[in-house]
Structure formats: C-alpha cells, structure tokens
C-alpha cells in the first residue's frame, strides 16, 4: 500500500467512525426527546411515568381554575370524564384556554400526583379539540357502548 | 353563475393539461415535430383558463357570495377587502387552486424563456409539468372543488380564521408556493434530460437559474412565515420546529444542496446522478410538504382539511411521482457518463460535504416530523418529538456547514494544495477563532459556547469573503486596476458572496436572540411598571377599541430608557365578531439591534392583565439575513450568461450530435 493510499484509508476510516458516532448520538438524543401522550385515566392507574416529561390531555374541569391573586400561578383540573388530574402552571395561558375546553399540557408529575406543566396548548379554533384528546374521548365512548 | 364559469374553466384546464402532458412527450419520443409544437400553446391555454378560474373565485370572495361553500366558510361581509382577497388561499381548496395557477405560470415562463433551448427538450419539460398539473387539477375537481355551492346560502360567512388576518398571510403562502412549485421546473428539467439520456453541463446550465429563483422564493416565503409567527402568535419566538415549518424547511435544505450540486455539474460535469436525485428529492419534499399541511394529518393551525380521501389521494400521487421518477432514473442511469475525477481536497469534495451535511439536517428534520405520524399509524400510541432534539441536530450539523462555506469558495476546482490553502485562510481562521474565544470567555457557560460558535462562524464567513475578494483583485495594479477587476467579476459570484453573508447575518441574529434576550411574564395593573433588558415598561391603561370585524382591548405601554420615553406600544387582545375567536396582536418596537415586544395575556380581574414582555436583541438580523440570501439569489440569476443566446448552438449540437 502506498503512503498516500494508507493516508486516504485512515481518513475514510475516521470519517466512517465519525458518522457512526454522530448517528448513535443523534438517535440517543432522539429517544430522550420523545414525549408520550397520556390521559388522566392512565395517570390515575400509574401508567404515566413519574419525574419524566410527557403530554397530558383532557378537558378543563368546570369551576376548577384557581388563580393566585399576586402572581401568574394557576391550578386547574384536567379530565377525561373518568378521572381527573390537578395541573399547576405559572405563566400566560393561551387565548383559547377556558373551562370545558380540550387542551394539552407538557410537563412532569410530582410526588403528590400534581402535574406541573411548563407549557399549555390550546388551538385557535372554537370547535377545535387536540386530536389526541378527540381520539381519547372517542375510545372512551366506544368502551362505554360495549 | 360566475362561480360555475370558474368550475368549467378548471375542467377545461384539466383537459388542456392532459394534452400538454401527453402529446408533446409522445411527439418528442417519436420525432413528430408538429406534436412537440403543441407544448407551448397548450401551456398558455391552461394558464389562461386557470387565471379565469382564479378570477372567478376572487369575484365570489369580493362580492360576498356566501352561496359558494368555500366563501361562506372563509369570508365575512365585514372582512376588510385585502383579507377578502387573501382569503382565497386561506384554506385548502383555494390554496390548491393557487398552487396549480402558479404551476401554470411557471410553465408559461419556461415556455417563454426557453427560446434558446432545443425544441425537443422544451417539449419534454413542459410535458412533465403538464403531468404534474393533471394530478393536482383532478385532485381539485374530485375532492376539493372551491366552487361547490351550498343548497341554502347563509346570510353571513363564517369569517377567515383570525390568525390569518395579517399582512404577512397575504403574501406568505403565494411566496412559499412560488418556491414549492418552482422546484417542479428543476424536477421537470431533470426528468426531461433523463428521458433524452443527455445529462450534461448544458442541462445543468438550463436548470440552474430556475432552481435559484425557486430557492429565492422559498427563502422569502419561509422567513416571512417566521416573521408572521413572531408577530401573530404572541410567543415572541421566530421558529418552533412545528411540522408545518419543517415541511417548508426540508425542500429548502435540499434545494440549497441542489443549487450547489448544479454548479458542480455545470462547471465540472461531475455529480450528474447526484444532481438528478437531488432534483427529484427536492420536488418530492415539496409535494410531501403540501401533503403534510393540506391533508390534516398534522396537529397544527395550518391543517385546514380533515378529509382522509384527500390525504390518500395526495399520498398516492406522491408515490406515483417519486416511484415513477426513480424508476426512470434506474432505467436511464447506466447512460449517465461519469464525470472528471477530483482530488480529495478540491472544491468538488467540499461541495459534496456541503450536500451531505444539508441532507443530514434534512434527514433529521424528516425523522422528527414523520416519526410521530408513523408511530400513531402503527397504533403504538401518541408521541411528539421535543424541539430540543431539532435544536441539537441543527447545532451538530450547521457549524461544519458554516466552516465549509468559508473554505469552499476559496478552494480550487479538481485539486488544491493543503499548505497553500492554509496560507490563504490562516488570517481569517485566526480572526474567527479570536471572536469565538472572546465570546466564550465573556459568557463562560454552555449556552455561551453556542453563542460563541454562532458569532465565530459569522466572523469566519465574513472574513473568508474578504479573502476571496482579495485573491481576485491581486492581479490588478493600483486601486483603478483592482476596481476594474472587481467590476469584471460575474454577478453570480457576487450573488454567492451576498447569500453567504446573509447566512452570517442570520447566524448573528440566531445566536444573539438565543441568549442575550430577556423575557418576563408579569402581572400588571394600570400604572404599574416593570424593568426588562434595561428598559422600563410603564403599563398605562387598557381601552376598548372597535375594529372593522372585531372588538379589542388595547393596552397603552410606554417604554422608557433612563426616564426618557422612547416608544409607545399598543398590544391588543381582539375578539372577532363572526367566530368569537380571541387573538393576540403583539406590540413591537422594531430596531436594528433590538426589538421591544409586548403581548397581552389575559385579564386577571381588578383591571390588571398578565403581560408578556421581551427584549429581543438582533432579532431583525434573522430576517435581514434571509433577505440577503434571497438578494444573493437574485444577483446570481441576473448574471448575463443566462441572458445571452450563444449557448444555443452548443446545446443543439449536444442534443442532436452523434452519441459519444
């Protein structure tokens, strides 16, 4: 093998190794950033992980929204009409957040079973239901019919 | 009556599209000259009928014909006139009509500006575009007719989605579609060249300006969308890795790769197969973008349609287009000659690196966008990919791209010497590293390193631009001599420099806004004040204001710098009368080095509001950089070599000459 060929071989080997490492790291990061969706019932049965970020969806329970008078802290209940989970959030709620509306929250469960949200999503449409919540409600209806 | 005329015009356009798609293609394969001659008139005819259809729909909107279902769903008599017109592409059906109208427009442009090209090639290109048009027009007629009437016309329309009532929306979709559809030209050129078995530098020269123009529109469309989201969503962010944004970013990334790969194919005759595949991929991703946004599979404000037959149709169409073009490629690829060899260190290899990195980012974005859909379709549950992943991928691949961007234009074609290259670049490299170290030491944190990386790369790109210019003027003697050389450089060279500088400006904006900004969500009552980013924001009052089709709570916020008022902002919370929807209109004081941004949250009783206040340093540079990139594209296509006819003889010879 000529020296130039040898050099080229090393370079190519280094590049292949680099690509492999990059792919591995990328896929690892990908797995860590996947956020799963859970319903209040699944949280109640303990299917949702504690201390890990996930998406929680449901309807805001009527009369459950309580604001702190001095800050932007707010708590409310989120339900799939079987179970309810208390959600706490600090910040500005989206324009269409209101009682009875379907929403999705991102955050973690704390030790007391309260879902601490860092993001609350509601879409800009009166008739809109987050698709996850709509599916959840449909499945529940199908179960009830059986 | 006029709506029915529009419907009829679409049917006629479809018939002409069939003629345009089939007759010239068969003619070009069989050598019937009078069949290939059909291409141009058929394309013009299709455009005329689609323009009539579009005008009919515009008429229905402007005259409030709520008996047309699409108008009733997306307009309202109180809607301001400009938004009535923009509402044409405010939802699924009308935006598809705009899509095909733009496709027909591009086809007519190809027909008009291709007088220098061999007839047979033009016929094939126009045919391919006709075939694409057939797909979209039948989609409109069978699943999404914007001219459908309602049995009983409502007295009032349901109004345009308030989110879309913004000057940004009036031009964002048309610009984006110009880009999406423009990539069909590069695609059509690639297929036509494949069909003829002549993939050479003349083919690359023909498709280059078209690709650049499409890329330019795509750049402007995407950055306008980003600007719109910043103003209209009230979150103060400029990019959310929303699937809809990703859908437009992917074709842009591949189109960027395609522009560079076409340059290599034109100049050196290499990368031919690669270029063809990129052209196919870029247009396929445009179609995928249309599919993702228009079929309703995404959970996003852009997903207007929820009819599954539409999604299935586009999916089938996508499979036919991608599968068909790849099959053609597989069949013809043995005829593609391999180009000249190039060394390990050469401009070719650096541009190959650029392409691979762009594709790596595209793959990462594609995975993050489609994986949740697959996961759901497999019935495994619902998940989403968090934006930190997208950011991490961008951070992984964009910096090496920036480094290559500096080296590439200075490296010689075919082979360059590492030592001499280092001599040319060491000063620029030193300055960039110094900038990086300065920012890294100043911030002394992990986030600070990201900023240092962005700033270092911006300095690197700017410094290498100077190196490139200096190496060109070296031959000139005296200032006058150097000036003469500068004037002799081609516009496409300057276009490249300007576009690269645009990336540098963009990098400064992204880096600065990611860490130097300050954000506060606070509770404010009349007379309260808060300090953000060294400015004092005085919340004066909230007043009720009536708009043309909404009622609004408008706050008055005075911004003070050292006690002197510098701006008065009027953020609003609007409630639209027809739909009852609530919208946030942010109040922004625009500046060259910083934006001051105030958005109203919600009333908290006792007259106080939750208020979002941001100091956004250099955020304008993000869009300014994009405009520079587009400007670079404009300079490149205005290069005189695209306007002169002297290549015609060469091209004819290449096409009809003896097989090599």
Q: Any idea where the domains of chain A sit in the sequence?
A: 1-34, 37-145
Contact of A3 with chain B, judged by CB distance below 8 Å, is answered with no
| Residues B519-567 pLDDT 10s | 888 999 999 999 998 899 999 999 999 999 899 999 999 999 998 999 9
Query: Chain A residue closest to B380 (CA)?
Result: A36
Q: Which residue has the tokens 């100043």?
A: B442
Provide the pairing of β-strand B582-585 with B572-576: antiparallel
| Residues B499-514 pLDDT 10s | 999 999 999 999 999 8
Residue A140 has pLDDT above 60, yes or no: yes
Whole-angstrom distance, CA of residue B329 vs CA of residue B322: 10
Substitution target from A54, A71, A94, A124 for chain B, most B beta carbons within 10 A: A124
Provide the pairing of β-strand B587-589 with B594-603: antiparallel
Q: What is the pLDDT of residue A123?
A: 63
- Give the gap in angstroms from C-alpha A34 to the nearest C-alpha of chain B: 5
Contact A92 B381 (CB under 8 A): no
Query: Chain A residue closest to B162 (CA)?
Result: A124
Whole-angstrom distance, CA of residue B207 vs CA of residue B157: 45
| Residues B261-277 pLDDT 10s | 999 999 888 888 899 99
User: Which residues on A lie below 8 Å from B301 (Cβ)?
Assistant: 123-124
Closest among B430, B447, B448 to B439, alpha carbons compared: B448
Whole-angstrom distance, CA of residue B324 vs CA of residue B321: 5
**Across B321-328, average pLDDT:** 94
Mean pLDDT across chain A, nearest whole number?
84
Q: What is the pLDDT of residue A131?
A: 66
**CB < 8 Å from A in window 32-91 of B:** none
Token output for B387: 């934006």
Contact of B601 with chain A, judged by CB distance below 8 Å, is answered with yes
- Give the gap in angstroms from C-alpha B362 to the nearest C-alpha of chain A: 13
Instruction: Report the DSSP beta bridge partners of residue B391.
Output: none
Contact of A8 with chain B, judged by CB distance below 8 Å, is answered with yes
Contact B580 A125 (CB under 8 A): no
Query: Chain B residue closest to A119 (CA)?
Result: B235
**Across B313-338, average pLDDT:** 87
Q: What is the pLDDT of residue B658?
A: 39
**Across A112-134, average pLDDT:** 73
Whole-angstrom distance, CA of residue A105 vs CA of residue A103: 7
**Across B273-283, average pLDDT:** 94
Q: Which residue has the tokens 């043995």?
A: B334
Contact of B377 with chain A, judged by CB distance below 8 Å, is answered with no
Contact B581 A123 (CB under 8 A): no
Token output for B348: 């070719």
Nearest to B580 among A34, A92, A126 (CB): A126
Token output for A114: 């309260």
Whole-angstrom distance, CA of residue B89 vs CA of residue B609: 35
Q: What percentage of residues in chain B have a pLDDT greater than 90? A: 62
User: Which residues on A lie below 8 Å from B364 (Cβ)?
Assistant: 26
Query: Chain B residue closest to A55 (CA)?
Result: B383
Nearest to A34 among B385, B610, B612 (CB): B385
**Across B131-147, average pLDDT:** 94
∠ CA B104-B109-B114, nearest 5°, is 130
What residues contact B274, with CB distance under 8 A and at least 6 apart?
B261, B355
Contact of A67 with chain B, judged by CB distance below 8 Å, is answered with yes
Q: What is the pLDDT of residue B183?
A: 96
Q: What is the pLDDT of residue B158?
A: 86
**Across B573-583, average pLDDT:** 85
What residues contact B626, with CB distance under 8 A and at least 6 apart?
B219, B220, B222, B223, B226, B502, B506
| Residues A28-77 pLDDT 10s | 889 888 888 898 998 988 888 888 889 998 889 999 999 888 888 999 99
Task: Give the CA distances from residue A101 to residues A79, A83, B295, B573, in Å, rounded to whole numbers and listed in that order.
Answer: 11, 16, 24, 19
Other CB atoms within 10 Å distance of the CB of residue B562: 8
| Residues B409-423 pLDDT 10s | 999 998 888 899 999
Contact A26 B601 (CB under 8 A): no
Closest among B299, B91, B521, B235 to A95, alpha carbons compared: B235
Token output for B155: 């007295």
Kindly state the DSSP code that residue B657 receives in the 8-state scheme: S
Tallying the residues shown for chain B, one arrives at: 660
pTM of the model: 0.91
Contact of A14 with chain B, judged by CB distance below 8 Å, is answered with no
**Residue A99 in contact with residue A64, Cβ under 8 Å?**
yes
Confidence of residue B216 (pLDDT cuts 50, 70, 90): very high
Q: What is the pLDDT of residue B380?
A: 76
Nearest to B163 among A25, A72, A124 (CB): A124
**Residue B346 in contact with residue B413, Cβ under 8 Å?**
yes
Q: Does the CA dihedral B142-B145-B149-B151 come out positive or negative?
A: positive
Nearest to B382 among A33, A37, A92 (CB): A37
Confidence of residue A129 (pLDDT cuts 50, 70, 90): low
Nearest to A96 among B384, B396, B582 (CB): B582
Whole-angstrom distance, CA of residue B418 vs CA of residue B464: 16
Whole-angstrom distance, CA of residue A9 vs CA of residue A86: 60
| Residues B240-252 pLDDT 10s | 888 888 999 999 9
User: Which residues on A lie below 8 Å from B393 (Cβ)?
Assistant: 26, 29
Contact A26 B393 (CB under 8 A): yes
Substitution target from B382, B578, B579, B611 for chain A, most A beta carbons within 10 A: B382
Instruction: Report the DSSP beta bridge partners of residue A84.
Output: A79
Contact of B246 with chain A, judged by CB distance below 8 Å, is answered with no
Taking phi over 0 as left and psi of -120 to 50 as alpha, with beta for the rest, B166 belongs to beta
Nearest to B579 among A33, A34, A126 (CB): A126
Whole-angstrom distance, CA of residue B459 vs CA of residue B500: 12
Confidence of residue A100 (pLDDT cuts 50, 70, 90): confident
Interface ipTM above 0.90? no
Q: What percentage of residues in chain A have a pLDDT greater than 70? A: 89
Report CA dihedral (B143, B148, B152, B155) to the nearest 10 degrees.
110
Say how many CB pairs under 8 Å bridge A and B. Answer: 90
Residue B118 has pLDDT above 80, yes or no: yes
DSSP result, B538-570 = EEEEEEEEE-SSEEEEEEEEEEEETTEEEEEE-
Whole-angstrom distance, CA of residue B621 vs CA of residue B455: 13
Residue B305 has pLDDT above 70, yes or no: no
Nearest to B584 among A11, A34, A95 (CB): A95
Class of CATH domain A37-145: mainly beta
Nearest to B382 among A26, A70, A132 (CB): A132
Nearest to B364 among A26, A53, A123 (CB): A26
Token output for B40: 């141009």
**CB < 8 Å from A in window 533-552 of B:** none
∠ CA B74-B79-B80, nearest 5°, is 130
Contact B612 A36 (CB under 8 A): no
**Across B394-422, average pLDDT:** 91
- B100, exposed or middle or buried, with CB in 10 Å at 0-12, 13-18, 19+? buried
Confidence of residue B582 (pLDDT cuts 50, 70, 90): confident
Contact of A15 with chain B, judged by CB distance below 8 Å, is answered with no
Contact of A124 with chain B, judged by CB distance below 8 Å, is answered with yes
Q: Does the CA dihedral B421-B424-B427-B432 come out positive or negative?
A: negative
Contact B581 A96 (CB under 8 A): yes
User: Which residues on A lie below 8 Å from B386 (Cβ)?
Assistant: 33-35, 53
Whole-angstrom distance, CA of residue A60 vs CA of residue A49: 22
**Residue B111 in contact with residue B43, Cβ under 8 Å?**
yes
SS3 A86: strand
Residue B398 has pLDDT above 80, yes or no: yes
**Across B197-215, average pLDDT:** 90
Q: What percentage of residues in chain B have a pLDDT greater than 70? A: 95
Contact A124 B301 (CB under 8 A): yes
- Give the gap in angstroms from C-alpha B581 to the nearest C-alpha of chain A: 7
Q: What is the pLDDT of residue B294?
A: 67
Provide the pairing of β-strand B550-561 with B529-532: unpaired
∠ CA B113-B502-B386, nearest 5°, is 105
Q: What is the pLDDT of residue B309?
A: 74
SS3 B159: coil
Contact A96 B381 (CB under 8 A): no
Confidence of residue B644 (pLDDT cuts 50, 70, 90): low
Q: What is the pLDDT of residue B558?
A: 94
**Residue B610 in contact with residue A72, Cβ under 8 Å?**
yes
SS3 A105: strand
Closest among B572, B634, B635, B628 to B598, alpha carbons compared: B572
Least confident of A112-126, B100-114, B311-325: A112-126
Task: Give A135 or B349, the one with higher predicted confidence.
Answer: B349
User: Which residues on B lie below 8 Å from A25 (Cβ)?
Assistant: 396
Token output for B648: 């015609």
Whole-angstrom distance, CA of residue B465 vs CA of residue B468: 5
Confidence of residue A17 (pLDDT cuts 50, 70, 90): very high
- B6, exposed or middle or buried, with CB in 10 Å at 0-12, 13-18, 19+? buried
Contact B381 A126 (CB under 8 A): no
Q: What is the pLDDT of residue B301?
A: 35
Taking phi over 0 as left and psi of -120 to 50 as alpha, with beta for the rest, B647 belongs to alpha
Token output for B403: 């480094």
Residue B55 has pLDDT above 90, yes or no: yes
Mean pLDDT across chain B, nearest whole number?
89
| Residues B585-625 pLDDT 10s | 899 999 999 999 999 988 887 888 999 999 999 999 999 99
Q: What is the pLDDT of residue B200?
A: 81
CA B79 from chain center: how many Å? 28
Kindly state the DSSP code that residue B199 receives in the 8-state scheme: -
User: Which residues on B lie below 8 Å from A123 (Cβ)?
Assistant: 299, 301
């Amino acid at each position: 093998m000529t020296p130039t060929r040898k050099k080229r071989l090393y370079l190519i080997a280094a590049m292949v190794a680099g690509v492999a490492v990059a792919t591995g790291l990328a896929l690892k990061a990908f797995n860590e950033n996947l956020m799963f969706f859970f319903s209040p019932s699944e949280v109640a049965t303990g299917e949702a992980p504690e201390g890990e970020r996930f998406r929680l969806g449901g309807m805001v329970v009527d009369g459950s929204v309580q604001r702190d008078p001095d800050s932007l802290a707010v708590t409310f209940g989120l339900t799939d009409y079987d179970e309810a989970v208390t959600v706490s959030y600090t910040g500005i709620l989206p324009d269409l957040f209101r009682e009875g509306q379907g929403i999705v929250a991102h955050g973690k469960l704390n030790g007391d079973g309260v879902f601490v949200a860092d993001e609350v999503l509601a879409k800009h449409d009166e008739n809109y239901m987050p698709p996850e919540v709509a599916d959840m409600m449909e499945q529940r209806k199908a179960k009830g019919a059986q | 009556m006029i709506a029915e005329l529009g419907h009829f015009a679409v049917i006629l356009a479809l018939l002409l599209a069939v003629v345009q798609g089939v007759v010239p293609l068969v003619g070009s394969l069989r050598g019937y000259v009078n069949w290939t001659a059909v291409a141009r008139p058929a394309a013009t005819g299709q455009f005329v009928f689609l323009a009539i259809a579009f005008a009919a729909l515009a008429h229905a909107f402007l005259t409030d014909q709520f008996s047309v279902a699409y108008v009733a769903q997306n307009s309202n008599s109180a809607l301001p006139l400009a938004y009535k017109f923009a509402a044409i592409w405010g939802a699924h059906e009308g935006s598809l009509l705009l899509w095909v109208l733009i496709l027909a427009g591009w086809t007519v442009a190809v027909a008009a500006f291709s007088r220098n090209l061999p007839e047979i090639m033009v016929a094939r290109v126009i045919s391919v575009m006709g075939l694409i048009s057939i797909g979209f027009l039948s989609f409109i007629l069978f699943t999404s007719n914007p001219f459908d009437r309602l049995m009983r016309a409502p007295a009032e329309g349901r109004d345009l989605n308030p989110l879309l009532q913004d000057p940004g929306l009036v031009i964002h979709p048309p610009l984006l579609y110009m880009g999406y559809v423009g990539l069909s030209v590069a695609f059509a050129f690639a297929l036509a060249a494949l069909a003829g078995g002549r993939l050479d530098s003349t083919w690359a020269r023909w498709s280059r300006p078209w690709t650049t123009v499409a890329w330019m529109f795509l750049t402007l469309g995407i950055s306008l969308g980003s600007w719109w989201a910043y103003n209209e969503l009230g979150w103060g962010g400029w990019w959310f890795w929303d699937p809809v944004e990703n859908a437009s970013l992917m074709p842009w990334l591949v189109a960027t790769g395609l522009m560079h790969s076409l340059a290599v194919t034109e100049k050196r005759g290499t990368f031919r197969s690669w270029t063809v595949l990129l052209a196919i991929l870029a247009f396929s991703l445009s179609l995928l973008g249309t599919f993702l946004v228009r079929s309703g599979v995404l959970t996003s404000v852009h997903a207007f349609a929820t009819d599954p037959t539409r999604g299935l149709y586009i999916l089938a169409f996508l499979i036919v287009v991608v599968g068909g073009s790849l099959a053609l490629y597989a069949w013809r690829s043995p005829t593609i000659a391999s180009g000249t060899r190039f060394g390990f260190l050469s401009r070719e290899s650096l541009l190959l690196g650029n392409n691979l990195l762009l594709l790596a980012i595209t793959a990462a974005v594609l995975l993050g966008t489609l994986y949740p859909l697959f996961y759901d379709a497999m019935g495994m549950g619902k998940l989403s990919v968090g934006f930190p992943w997208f950011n991490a991928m961008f951070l992984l691949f964009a910096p090496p791209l920036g480094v290559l961007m500096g080296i590439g234009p200075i490296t010689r074609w075919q082979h360059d010497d590492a030592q001499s290259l280092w001599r040319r670049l060491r000063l620029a490299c030193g300055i960039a590293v110094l900038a990086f170290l300065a920012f890294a030491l100043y911030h002394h944190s992990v986030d600070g390193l990201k900023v240092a990386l962005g700033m270092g790369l911006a300095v690197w790109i700017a410094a290498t631009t100077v190196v490139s210019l200096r190496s060109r003027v070296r031959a000139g003697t005296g200032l006058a001599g150097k000036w003469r050389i500068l004037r002799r450089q081609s516009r496409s060279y300057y276009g490249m420099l300007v576009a690269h500088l645009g990336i540098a400006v963009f990098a400064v904006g992204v880096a600065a806004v990611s860490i130097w900004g300050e954000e506060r969500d606070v509770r404010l009552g009349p007379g309260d004040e808060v300090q953000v980013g060294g400015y004092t924001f005085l919340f004066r009052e909230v007043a009720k204001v009536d708009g043309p089709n909404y009622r609004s709570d408008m706050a008055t916020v005075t911004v003070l710098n050292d006690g002197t008022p510098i701006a008065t902002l009027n953020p609003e919370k609007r409630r639209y009368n027809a739909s009852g929807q609530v919208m946030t209109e942010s109040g922004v004081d625009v500046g060259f080095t910083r934006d001051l941004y105030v958005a109203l949250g919600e009333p908290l009783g006792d007259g106080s509001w939750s208020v979002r206040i941001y100091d956004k340093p250099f955020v304008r540079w993000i869009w300014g950089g994009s405009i520079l990139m587009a400007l670079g594209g404009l300079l490149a296509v205005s290069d005189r070599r695209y306007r002169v006819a002297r290549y015609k003889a060469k091209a004819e010879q290449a096409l009809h000459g003896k097989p090599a």
